[in-house]
Chain A
Amino acid sequence: MKTFFIMLTAASLLYGSYTSDADSQTVYDDQTDLTWEDGVNHLRAWGDAIDYCESLNIVGTGDWRLPSVNELLSIVDYNGAASAVNPAFNFLINQPHWSATTDATDSTYAWYVNFSDGYSRSFPKAVRRYVRCVRKGKLSGSQNANTATLPAIFYLLQ
């Protein structure tokens, strides 16, 4: 019983608010009420990253967009030992990811977040970076099977 509580505590610390869905390749964060695309990675210039998210359709839902820099920072794992990649994600990698926020000092630059250690940096929009799309709310088509509410338990048991 005690062990169970310790595990539960560890689980909520590390992955508390995240639910990953393998079928739709998305991760839902119930603290921010955001659903994140968690599919295969492609490098895209900033404008192409926006167009990609605008045209993305997952299980019939098309209201995806490129995240703001603050939204992107909300999934940084500040406690990660090896990287700032949030362990609730399957495909997120330790590389720079574009945000939809433009640098106020130079509109040819936008902000990215690097999940190597979670820093943000302003960079030329023409450069190709990785992309994670986001949308507000839970995906209605994704509450079927394979939904792991506390994925940390699986990690701990391995």
Chain B
Amino acid sequence: MFKSIIVISITFLFSCAESYVLKTGQTVEYKTGDNGTYHALTGVERSYSRDNINGIVSDHSTNLQWQDYYEEGKIYRTDWTAANTYCTKLHLKGVGWRLPTRYELTTIVDYSQSHPAINTTFFQVTASGTYWSSTSYMKPESANAWRTNFNDGGDYVSKKENVNFVRCVRGAK
């Protein structure tokens, strides 16, 4: 009985964690009635700060911290399995890092920007390319996983053995 209640609470927290809708970044109106017209209505405003000493960006809208530092300035690029391992072993002002879920990765896309489609004031180390998410395609044992393209913000499926960029995350899940 108590176990069930705990499970329900955990489930509730989990489902709440991905409930937010963030603004896309678009404020320009291309046609009356589009995302630009309604930008004030369409989601939560992003709220970033950057720890410049450690190279960590905090998103206060999602309570997530993002890696924005790489040794020797080289943005890490590897296959999916190694990307997961890299994040869990990352020491950047402590541990607790992991590869972001697909949804988490889409929360840092800024659709009003391109090459890269991200807020570069805070995310200062971003490749114009595809980044791994931890989310497998359809089922965990799939040979494919999702990646987000920071050229434009689109997301695509890639074979797990392929090489993509890695940005680790920690915090609310």
**Residues of A in contact with B (beta carbons under 8 Å apart):** 1-2, 5-6, 8-9, 12-13, 16-17, 31-32, 34, 47, 50-51, 53-54, 65-71, 73-74, 78, 80-81, 99-105, 107, 111, 117, 119-122, 136
Evaluate contact between B106 and A119: CB separation under 8 angstroms.
no
Q: List residues of chain A with CB within 8 A of the CB of B103.
A: 73, 78
Question: In the assembled complex, how far is the CB of residue A41 from the closest CB belonging to chain B, in whole angstroms?
Answer: 20
Give residues of chain B (19-55) contacting chain A, Cβ–Cβ below 8 Å.
19-24, 26, 28, 30-38, 41-43
* Pair A12/B15 contact, Cβ less than 8 Å: yes
Measured between beta carbons, the chain B residues less than 8 angstroms from A67 are 42
B164 interface residue (CB < 8 Å to A): no
Contacts known (A50-B34, A70-B21); A122 close to B106, Cβ less than 8 A? no
Stretch at the interface among B4-12, B72-80, B85-93: B4-12
Size bracket of the B interface: 35 or more
Assuming the A-B contacts A100-B38, A102-B35, are A74 and B21 also in contact, with contact meaning beta carbons closer than 8 angstroms in the complex? yes
Q: Taking the nearest CB of chain B, how far is it from the CB of A153, in angstroms?
A: 14
Q: How far is B31's CA from A99's CA once the two chains are assembled, in angstroms?
A: 13
Contact B33 A53 (CB under 8 A): yes
With a cutoff of 8 Å between Cβ atoms, the chain A residues found around residue B106 in the complex are 70, 73, 120
Contact B33 A103 (CB under 8 A): no
Min CB–CB distance B48 → chain A (angstroms)? 16
Q: Which residues of B contact A (CB under 8 A)?
A: 1, 4-5, 7-8, 11-12, 14-16, 19-24, 26, 28, 30-38, 41-43, 102-103, 106, 111-115, 117, 135, 137-139, 146, 151-157
- Tell whether, in the assembled complex, residue A71 and residue B21 are in contact, meaning their CB atoms are under 8 Å apart: yes
B43 touches A102 (CB 8 A): no
User: Given contacts A68-B43, A119-B154, are A13 and B15 in contact (CB under 8 A)?
Assistant: yes
Question: Are A70 and B15 interface neighbours, CB within 8 A?
Answer: no
> With A and B bound together, what is the CA distance between A61 and B35 in angstroms?
20
- Distance of A101 Cα from B41 Cα, bound (Å): 13
Complex Cα–Cα for A12 and B34 (A): 33
How far is B115's CA from A81's CA once the two chains are assembled, in angstroms?
A: 33
CB of A101 within 8 A of CB of B35, answer: yes
Q: Say whether B1 contacts A120, CB under 8 Å.
A: no
Q: Assess whether B8 is in contact with A12, with CB atoms less than 8 Å apart.
A: yes
| Contact partners of A8 in chain B: CB under 8 A | 8
A-B pairs, top 5 by smallest CB distance, nearest first, are: A31-B19, A5-B4, A100-B35, A50-B33, A68-B42
Nearest chain B CB to A130's CB is how many angstroms away? 17
B8–A65 contact, CB under 8 A? no
CB distance from A4 to the nearest CB of B (A): 9
Q: Cβ of B23: which chain A residues have Cβ within 8 Å of it? A: 68, 70
Q: Which of A54, A99, A101 is packed against the most chain B CB atoms within 10 Å?
A: A101
Q: Is the CB of B11 within 8 A of A70?
A: no
* A/B interface sample: 9 pairs, CB < 8 A: A6-B4, A13-B11, A47-B31, A68-B35, A73-B106, A104-B113, A105-B114, A105-B115, A107-B30
